[in-house]
């Protein structure tokens, strides 16, 4: 492996490789398997993309992968043998950018399909509101799921909430307020547009109630009912259980707090952390404040182990669907007569300064950049850091990278960047056409462009902004189909092999763990998923509808479908 490695990373690799069974003593490697799964179509996702029929597992590792005959021969008297009766086995599925599984304490809009249904859900909650209460919604929904393909705005909300303040939260960049809420926080047509944010208006000049990005800081949402540390752990366990049911064995949380990392460490200590977790830290404040926070936390880059690990620092330079920072203006009316190009949520000088700080401290950086101009900014910042001390080989990266341009590619390559890509278009396609026009929307996210350039890429969802399911990621990337707008930008379709790699083995390059995870091979961690059909050969639409039959993390079954036992036999 010829790569320039940071000293800390090299140490990490040594630690990992010292635990590989190839280097265990002879007694252990001759141990009979705990369990053998056979009569399967095992897609190993190794370098040759080879298939096998059976796998043997001892403790948390695969010990053998091969034909039914060759693997079953290893069985000892206590080995369980499970006949999968032709089902398909793939490596554990991963999500490179998952905030949470959605839900929450607000009004649930995730299943609404019309503006009328949104208003009904909000109106019902308003009827039950206590005097002085602010009604809010959960964030896990998008107007692309609505028949009208538009946001509910202030005047819509006023029809069901004339007196009660209502804040509709959508994704991570957007609030919509009714008139009572605008009045509560004293937001009027006289309120200045905050830098990095936007207070939008109806065509007649009145406020529409929409607050984008930093404009949201004009509003203070009512605090969630405080949860005890114990409740937080129980909620996290329940959330990971939901994610195991769609085949996820590993998630990367982009930009969580040090406290939540400590909570997950406590879960691991108790033996209740069933998900492999990579966590990026998001720290706010001046360079001095960030450095102080890190010092007092005692956390070092790559802190963690094979189950839970810090993966770097998260930064953000632009908005999302309605605020991605572009080289060219938005479509009208969003372009405001050719003036609006999106939002810069951080001044470039501040960004560059912080990136250099992280480089000096040995942290790798991943930056949220949606628009092409945002990617320009990130590359400039990384190049400035690289000029001080090389970042090549340290696997820094960009999150999302919706509007990648050809001129970005050589710069990304020479910095050795990794692209963390998601299936936003699947959900938001029709909205992106409205904001950015067909050409830019159809480019989102140009996975094929990046792959053809030889850039390393992995896949995920950005849940709860986009609903979580790694099978939907595969389905979208191989078809470019969307939930409500049909296929878009089909020239960016990729092969099923590439899509499966993106949500399995490629994930582990993000933390230099590609030698221990992501492939079904002897010595690797036994993370795998059982599917009822072969996703490499079924009609594509079946991938979207497919149920997961079983999920395993480190040799432990963490999810089993009710029908699994009807098919598999022991
Ligand atoms: Zn995100």
3-class secondary structure per residue, 156-205: HHHHHCCCCCEEEEECCCEEEECHHHHHHCCCCCCCCCCCCEEEEECCCC
What distance in Å separates the CA atoms of residue 348 and residue 382, rounded to the nearest whole number? 11
CA of 171 to the centre of ligand 1 (A): 9
CA of 99 to the centre of ligand 1 (A): 6
CA of 157 to the centre of ligand 1 (A): 27
Q: Pick the range with the lowest mean pLDDT from 7-11, 368-372, 390-394, 412-416.
A: 7-11
Length, in residues, of the chain: 570
Whole-number pLDDT of residue 223: 83
Whole-number pLDDT of residue 30: 66
Whole-number pLDDT of residue 105: 86
CA of 357 to the centre of ligand 1 (A): 23
CA of 297 to the centre of ligand 1 (A): 24
CA of 360 to the centre of ligand 1 (A): 26
DSSP letters, 10-49, are HHHHHHHHHTSGGGS-HHHHTSPPSEEEES-EEE---TT-
The pLDDT confidence band at residue 284, using thresholds 50, 70 and 90, is: confident
CA of 462 to the centre of ligand 1 (A): 5
Q: Per-residue pLDDT averaged across 325-335, rounded?
A: 95
CA of 81 to the centre of ligand 1 (A): 41
Whole-number pLDDT of residue 87: 98
What distance in Å separates the CA atoms of residue 89 and residue 529, rounded to the nearest whole number? 6
The residue among 55, 60, 49, 19 whose CA lies nearest residue 37 is 55
| pLDDT tens digits along 92-147 | 999 999 999 988 889 999 889 999 999 999 999 999 999 999 999 999 899 988 98
Instruction: Report the Cα–Cα distance between both ends of the chain, in Å, rounded.
Output: 41
CA of 454 to the centre of ligand 1 (A): 24
What distance in Å separates the CA atoms of residue 280 and residue 298, rounded to the nearest whole number? 16
Q: Per-residue pLDDT averaged across 216-238, rounded?
A: 92
CA of 515 to the centre of ligand 1 (A): 27
What percentage of the chain has pLDDT greater than the value 70? Answer: 95
CA of 555 to the centre of ligand 1 (A): 30
Q: Per-residue pLDDT averaged across 260-272, rounded?
A: 97
Structure tokens at 227: 């949860």
Residue 569 forms beta bridges with which residues?
83
What distance in Å separates the CA atoms of residue 444 and residue 371, rounded to the nearest whole number? 10
Q: Pick the range with the lowest mean pLDDT from 177-186, 277-286, 378-387, 511-520.
A: 277-286
Containing H/E element for 127? helix 115-127
CA of 361 to the centre of ligand 1 (A): 24
Residue 556 forms beta bridges with which residues?
553
CA of 324 to the centre of ligand 1 (A): 13
| pLDDT tens digits along 488-500 | 999 999 999 999 9
User: Rounded to an integer, what is the distance from CA 353 to the centroid of its chain?
Assistant: 26
Does the pLDDT of residue 216 top 90, yes or no? yes
What distance in Å separates the CA atoms of residue 289 and residue 313, rounded to the nearest whole number? 15
What distance in Å separates the CA atoms of residue 516 and residue 512, rounded to the nearest whole number? 9
What distance in Å separates the CA atoms of residue 423 and residue 372, rounded to the nearest whole number? 17
What distance in Å separates the CA atoms of residue 299 and residue 501, rounded to the nearest whole number? 31
Bond from prior residue into 143 cis (ω within 30 degrees of 0): no
Q: Per-residue pLDDT averaged across 433-454, rounded?
A: 97
The pLDDT confidence band at residue 12, using thresholds 50, 70 and 90, is: very low
Structure tokens at 286: 């001046």
CA of 100 to the centre of ligand 1 (A): 10
The pLDDT confidence band at residue 15, using thresholds 50, 70 and 90, is: very low
Q: Is residue 422 a contact partner of residue 445, using CB atoms and an 8 Å limit?
A: yes
| Mean pLDDT over each residue of the chain, to the nearest integer | 93
CA of 98 to the centre of ligand 1 (A): 7
The answer for residues whose C-beta is within 8 angstroms of residue 26's C-beta and 6 or more apart is: none
CA of 317 to the centre of ligand 1 (A): 12
Does the pLDDT of residue 319 top 80, yes or no? yes
CA of 181 to the centre of ligand 1 (A): 26
What distance in Å separates the CA atoms of residue 97 and residue 462, rounded to the nearest whole number? 5
Q: Model pTM?
A: 0.89
| pLDDT tens digits along 41-83 | 999 999 999 999 999 999 999 999 999 999 999 999 999 999 9
Bond from prior residue into 464 cis (ω within 30 degrees of 0): yes
């Amino acid at each position: 492996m010829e790569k320039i490695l940071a000293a800390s990373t090299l140490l990490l690799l040594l630690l990992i490789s010292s635990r590989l069974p190839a280097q265990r003593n002879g007694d252990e490697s001759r141990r009979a398997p705990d369990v053998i799964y056979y009569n399967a179509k095992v897609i190993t996702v190794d370098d040759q993309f080879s298939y096998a029929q059976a796998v043997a597992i001892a403790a948390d590792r695969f010990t053998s992968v091969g034909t039914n005959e060759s693997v079953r021969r290893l069985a000892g008297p206590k080995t369980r043998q499970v006949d999968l009766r032709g089902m398909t086995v793939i490596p554990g599925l991963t999500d490179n950018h998952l905030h949470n599984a959605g839900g929450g304490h607000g009004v649930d809009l995730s299943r609404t399909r019309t503006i009328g249904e949104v208003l009904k859900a909000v109106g019902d909650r308003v009827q039950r509101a206590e005097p002085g209460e602010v009604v809010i919604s959960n964030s896990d929904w998008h107007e692309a799921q609505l028949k009208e393909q538009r946001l509910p705005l202030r005047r819509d909300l006023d029809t069901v909430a004339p007196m009660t303040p209502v804040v509709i939260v959508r994704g991570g960049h957007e609030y919509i307020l009714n008139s009572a809420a605008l009045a509560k926080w004293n937001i009027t047509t006289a309120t200045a547009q905050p830098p990095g944010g936007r207070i939008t208006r109806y065509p007649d000049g009145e406020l529409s109630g929409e607050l984008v990005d930093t404009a949201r800081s004009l509003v203070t949402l009512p605090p969630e009912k405080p949860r005890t540390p114990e409740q937080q752990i129980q909620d996290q366990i329940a959330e990971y259980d939901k994610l195991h049911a769609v085949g996820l064995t590993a998630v990367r949380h982009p930009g969580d707090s040090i406290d939540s990392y400590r909570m997950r460490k406590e879960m691991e200590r108790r033996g209740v952390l069933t998900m492999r977790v990579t966590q990026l830290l998001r720290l706010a404040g001046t360079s001095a404040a960030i450095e102080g926070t890190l010092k007092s936390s005692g956390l070092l880059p790559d802190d963690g182990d094979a189950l839970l690990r810090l993966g770097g620092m998260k930064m953000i330079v632009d908005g999302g669907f309605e605020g991605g920072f572009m080289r060219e203006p938005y479509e009208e009316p969003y372009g405001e007569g050719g003036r609006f190009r999106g939002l810069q949520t951080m001044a470039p000088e501040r960004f560059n300064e912080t990136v250099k700080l992280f480089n000096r401290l040995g942290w790798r950086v991943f930056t949220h950049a949606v628009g092409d101009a945002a990617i320009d900014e990130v590359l400039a910042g990384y190049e400035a850091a690289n000029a001080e001390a090389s970042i090549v080989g340290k696997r820094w990266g960009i999150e999302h990278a919706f509007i990648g341009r050809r001129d970005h590619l050589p710069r990304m390559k020479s910095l050795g960047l990794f692209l963390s890509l998601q299936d936003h278009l699947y959900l938001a396609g029709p909205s992106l056409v409205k904001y950015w026009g067909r050409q830019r929307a159809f480019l989102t996210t140009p996975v094929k462009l990046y792959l053809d350039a030889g850039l390393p890429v992995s896949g995920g969802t950005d849940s709860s902004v986009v609903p979580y399911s790694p099978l939907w990621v595969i389905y979208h990337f191989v078809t470019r189909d969307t939930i409500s707008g049909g296929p878009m930008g089909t020239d960016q379709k990729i092969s099923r092999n590439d899509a499966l790699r993106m949500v399995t083995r490629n994930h582990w390059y993000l933390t230099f763990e590609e030698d221990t995870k992501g492939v079904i091979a002897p010595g690797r961690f036994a993370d795998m998923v059982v599917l009822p059909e072969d996703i490499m050969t079924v009609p594509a639409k079946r991938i979207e509808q497919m149920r997961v039959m079983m999920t395993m993390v480190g040799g432990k079954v963490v999810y089993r479908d009710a029908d699994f036992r009807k098919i598999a036999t022991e």
